[in-house]
Structure 1
Amino acid sequence: MNSVTQTLRPQLERARRAWRGSPLPGFMAWWGGELRALLPVRWQAFFSGGNVWCLLRHEDGQWHVLRSGEPQTTALWSDTLDAAEQQAMLNVAVAGVDRQDLRLALCLPHESVLRRYLLLPEAARDNLRQIGAFEMDRQTPFRVDQVYYDLRELPGSAPTGRMAAELIATPRAVVDTKLDHLRHAGIAMDAVDLYDGDKRLGVNLLPPEMERVHRNPRRRLNVALVGSAALLLLLCLGQWLHNRTDALATMQAQVDDMHADAQKVAELRKQLENSVNASGFLARRKTESVAVVDVLQDLTARIPDDTWLERFTVDSSGRVGMQGQSAKAASLIDVLQGSKLLTGANFQGVIQRDPATNKERFYMDAQLRSPGSAKPASSGSSAGAAR
């Protein structure tokens, strides 16, 4: 086991514990069983998979082999057989088990191991093997280098912030003799464990560096299948994203067209409102303003015959400017005071006499009355010439 694997081992153990403690393993096992049941019988064995543990026990010079979960021994041979014969007997015991799924465990009798119950902090869950090494001198009469050991977490309740664990240790001399015999027979062990009924207890007293390394040819296939599934998933997500993008682009084009139409409608509405406002403005101005022709008619009826206008102006505010000549310009104020169209008549500047015409030249202004109070002079009134 290289340094990288040793460094990652606590993280891997933590992940394995989290996986085993979750409901996912049970669900996946049930789901896989249901799916296998749908396959033809010849294919079900191919897809069964999973590790198959075969347990070896040495007793009175005889080797007993049984499959985990099966109470009956499937093979029995003596220490006196040579390596080839022992391997043949083991092959008979594991017949029908795929070599990739086969796992061998040497199971020790309970009287050959020392077991101690411990209460540990929950933080020790990630480093149980190291904690076992620290506790070895206090809990057993052995040193760490004298025993094979393992520390397992026990199910059940424990005080808050604590966890229950069991330290299991056995002298190396007890195990090394059996391991050496099996190694000489060409049989490698995956674990050293204890019996728990017809199954293994679930610990491994072997140190990590002595565990057998399995090369799983299926791993490449599984990695390829996982990669293919991930690639297909990415392709599906990409296709979905592409379809959504196309749909969004189509909708955006439709929205742009509708926005352009809406802008045209808004422009037409604005033009219509401007036209309505303009027509309303003109109508209001017409109703609020006095017609110039009425003013001219009123002035023509009022100013005397010896008076004529040279200039007549009306600005947007209704201010009327009159410039002209009269024999008696001062009397024009009294004449215009009776007008119903003009008010505030007044001279601007000084009245001067024109030597050429011997008339008084004047400039005066007035203010148009509001239409409600201004009424044009009667058409039957006498008219004077306005020049």
Structure 2
Amino acid sequence: MSSATQSLQPLLDNVRRAWRTSPMPRFFQWWGGELAALLPVRWRYAFGGGAAWYLLEKQGDDWQVRRAGDSLPLATWSDSLDPAAQLVALSDALRGVDPEDLHIALCLPSTTMLRRSLLLPIAARESLQQIGAFEMDRQTPFRAEQVRYDVRDTQGPAPAGRFAAELVAVPRQTLDPLLERLRAVGIGIDAVDMASGYDRLGVNLLPPEQAPRRSHPRQRLNLALAAACVLLVVMSLGEWLHNRQAALSAMQSQVDSMRAEAQKVAALRQQLQDNAGAAGFLADRKLHTPSALSLLDDLSQRLPDDAWLERLSIDNAGQVGFQGQSKQAAKLIDAVKGSPVITDANFQGTIQADPTTGKERFYMVAQLRKPDTKAKATPAHTGSAR
């Protein structure tokens, strides 16, 4: 036993003790018995599983064997037969029984048994054999080494903190010759008990050193099958998780692809909005900004006949620059004042006389009027710009 198992042993003992003292074992035993009673006897034998107890009894000079709970014997043979014949009779009676489930109990008549009722503390459930040896001197005229005994929990009513038990004993001088005879014949038994109706009482007076050693291949197979089932469940869960992860990955890929497409659509929408905004801005600016033709028309009407323009420019900020010649350039400020197209007209630089034409050369700058500051047009002078 490893150190880890030894350290857990007290805890396991406490859990086992708490389970045995609780009402749950009795409930499950009663419930299982009630459910089993609803099945036909043949079905109970077929599906019962576990240990199949057969009772071996000595009737005078004869032996008989019957299944626990049945009243009719399966076989009867004389004890005077040779051991081989007795084994054949027993084997014929137990033919068809799984050797792993087969359990034989030697049942003694109640007249040979000594029974005493006990009320024991709850803590004594884990040491019934020691309690039986202690109670033997008090409850019977025998000493513990003179008898074969067992103590069973009767599940009967008991005061708080105690449980009902029964001490069952048989003198060794009665039991040991029977055990010697069975060993001589070659019949192995699993328990020594007392007959109770058609069944057994539920004690085991067989000495532990004489208990047969059994192999349990089916139990190992069941453990292997249980381990395989656990492995299959784990693999199924792993496969389920893998499928879920694969589905999640596929969905994530689709989401990423849709997100990329959505980003492209959003970029195209933004580009469309920008283009629409730019087009709207240009259309709005074109709508609310005076055209060069209207500017030329307004200047042609406002400048006197002796003035003409040599150059006209309009930049993106709406600043207008025009250069030309006039006989009286200083009066041009008053001429363009009140224009619905331009405002803030001023000379840039100085007015210079042109000796070739005899006129004054000028350069003026102005600002195109905005829509909200556009004034009502004033009567314009007649004439044309040259």
TM category, shorter = 0.5 to 0.7
* 1:315 alignment partner in structure 2: 316
Letter in 2 for 1:370: P
Question: Please, what TM-score do these two structures have when normalized by structure 2?
Answer: 0.64
Q: Deviations over 1:93-142 (max 9, x none)?
A: 43443434321113345543444344627xx9xxx4x3425644665538
Inter-partner Cα distance in structure 2 for 1:98 and 1:104? 13
Q: 1:3 to 1:94 in 2, by over 3 A?
A: farther
Provide the secondary structure at the position in 1 that maps to 2:371: coil
* 2:338 alignment partner in structure 1: 338
Contact 1:290-1:371 at 8 Å conserved across structures: no
Inter-partner Cα distance in structure 2 for 1:327 and 1:172? 160
* 2:128 alignment partner in structure 1: 132
Structure 1 stretch displaced more, 288-297 or 229-238:
229-238
Letter in 2 for 1:292: A
Q: 1:314 to 1:183 in 2, by over 3 A?
A: same
Inter-partner Cα distance in structure 2 for 1:320 and 1:163? 118
* 2:301 alignment partner in structure 1: 301
* 1:373 alignment partner in structure 2: 374
Structure 1 stretch displaced more, 139-148 or 48-57:
139-148
Contact 1:152-1:203 at 8 Å conserved across structures: no
Q: 1:298 to 1:105 in 2, by over 3 A?
A: same
Contact 1:152-1:167 at 8 Å conserved across structures: yes
Contact 1:319-1:368 at 8 Å conserved across structures: no
Aligned-pair CA distance for 1:203: 4.4
Q: Deviations over 1:348-367 (max 9, x none)?
A: 6xx52436657465554434
Letter in 1 for 2:90: L
* 1:154 alignment partner in structure 2: 155
Contact 1:56-1:106 at 8 Å conserved across structures: yes
* 2:169 alignment partner in structure 1: 170
1:198 matched to 2:194 = no
Provide the secondary structure at the position in 1 that maps to 2:313: strand
Stretches of structure 2 that go unaligned for 5 or more consecutive residues are: none
Q: Deviations over 1:360-382 (max 9, x none)?
A: 65554434221783678999953
Q: 1:345 to 1:103 in 2, by over 3 A?
A: same
Provide the secondary structure at the position in 1 that maps to 2:367: strand
Structure 1 stretch displaced more, 142-151 or 190-199:
142-151
Contact 2:152-2:202 at 8 Å conserved across structures: no
Inter-partner Cα distance in structure 2 for 1:93 and 1:198? 18
Aligned-pair CA distance for 1:197: 2.5
Structure 1 stretch displaced more, 333-342 or 77-86:
77-86
* 2:137 alignment partner in structure 1: 141
Matches within 5 A, 1:15-164: 50-58=50-58, 63-76=63-76, 83-109=83-109, 111-118=113-120, 120=122, 128=125, 130-133=126-129, 135-136=131-132, 140-141=136-137, 148-152=149-153, 154=155, 164=163
Stretches of structure 1 that go unaligned for 5 or more consecutive residues are: 38-44
Inter-partner Cα distance in structure 1 for 2:208 and 2:270? 85
Provide the secondary structure at the position in 1 that maps to 2:122: strand
Matches within 5 A, 1:228-377: 269=269, 272-304=272-304, 305-306=306-307, 308=309, 310=311, 312-316=313-317, 318-321=318-321, 328=328, 330-346=330-346, 351-354=349-352, 359=360, 361-370=362-371, 373=374
Inter-partner Cα distance in structure 2 for 1:377 and 1:324? 23
Letter in 1 for 2:128: G
Inter-partner Cα distance in structure 1 for 2:370 and 2:2? 109
Inter-partner Cα distance in structure 1 for 2:291 and 2:156? 109
Q: 1:313 to 1:52 in 2, by over 3 A?
A: same
Question: Please, what TM-score do these two structures have when normalized by structure 1?
Answer: 0.64
Inter-partner Cα distance in structure 1 for 2:241 and 2:256? 22
Aligned-pair CA distance for 1:210: 5.0
Q: 1:54 to 1:46 in 2, by over 3 A?
A: closer
* Deviation >6 Å, runs of 4+: 6-11, 16-21, 45-48, 142-146, 155-159, 223-264, 375-380
Q: 1:48 to 1:21 in 2, by over 3 A?
A: closer
Aligned-pair CA distance for 1:338: 0.8
The alignment's C-alpha RMSD in Å is 5.4
Contact 1:343-1:369 at 8 Å conserved across structures: no
* 2:187 alignment partner in structure 1: 187
Inter-partner Cα distance in structure 1 for 2:205 and 2:327? 142
Contact 1:340-1:369 at 8 Å conserved across structures: no
Q: 1:57 to 1:205 in 2, by over 3 A?
A: same
